[in-house]
Amino acid sequence: MAHKAGYVNIIGHPNVGKSTLLNALLGEKLVIVNPKAQTTRHRILGILNGDDHQLILSDTPGILDPLYPLQKTMMRAVDEALNDADILLVLVELGERPENAEAVVRRAERFSGPMIVLVNKMDLGDDAMLTTALQSWQLVFPRAKVVPVSALHGFNVDALRERLLELLPEHPPYFPKDEMSDRDLRFFTSEMIREKVLAIYKQEIPYSTQVVVNSYEESPEIVKIQADVIVMRESQKGIIIGRGGGALRQLGTEARKAIEKFCGTKVFLDLKVKVDPDWRDDMAKLKQYGY
């Protein structure tokens, strides 16, 4: 039997459910999910392997008009995903109108391969609303298949996975069959810490924060990790630490538990908070932080 492999890349506005969909298709929680917009900053590949297939799913940052250099690097990641996609998934949410999605539509129209438009969060409306949405998006993308899904509740996810496997081109595997992602444990550790920053802190703090894992030492009994939480101002450092260090202790405890669940082993996590002024506006610093 011929082997099939290819890149299935997901694009859409911030907060429409791209990361939730990738996790649902993989059957694993690989990328962070949070109700705050712009949770995903990098392009992250999740790899679904079978004996005769390798489905490489690409989560991308939400499409927006960039306001500062960090967001410009995020939009470059979206364009990169369009260039190497074998199959494009355009994710919109129920109630989202095509006329308000010009940046998404413009990018998707550049893609000439197989395309599926997914109307997500279908459980949040009635049948008439869903029918109207499906018809509206079909008019915008006449050559695409337009289908309803609920990434959160799993509706149509299995059928979508099967359809993607059918559409994959014949190709040898791009990655070793035991890999789940193109990213390493240090990256996922930093993302899990950042996920807890998104969950615990409010307002501008999550968007001003970067996490750097400086050391990751594995032994059979324990993984020892030292990481820095980078913020842009001294006042933000005070908020991250909290009164008497309480907020930082909460962040450390919740992040450690998440990392232990992911790694399946005991973890010692040492977190420090540092100030790096305007890191998200400085291209040299962004490069240093992996953007």
Specify the CATH number for 185-288; select among 3.30.300.30, 3.90.1300.10, 3.30.300.20, 2.40.160.40: 3.30.300.20
Segment 251-255 long-range contacts (CB within 8 Å, at least 24 positions apart): 251/193, 251/196, 251/197, 251/200, 254/196, 254/199, 254/200, 255/192, 255/193, 255/195, 255/196
- Cα(272)–Cα(237) distance, rounded to whole angstroms? 10
pLDDT of res. 36:
61
| In the chain, % of residues over pLDDT 90 | 59
Ranges of each domain in the chain: 4-167, 185-288
Q: In this model, does residue 216 exceed pLDDT 90?
A: yes
Architecture field, domain 4-167: 3-Layer(aba) Sandwich (3.40)
pLDDT of res. 35:
62
Question: For residue 160, what pLDDT band results from cuts at 50, 70 and 90?
Answer: very high
Average pLDDT value over all residues in the chain: 90
Question: For residue 196, what pLDDT band results from cuts at 50, 70 and 90?
Answer: very high
pLDDT of res. 192:
92
Kindly report the CA angle at 46 between 30 and 102, in degrees rounded to 5?
100
pLDDT of res. 236:
95
pLDDT of res. 38:
63
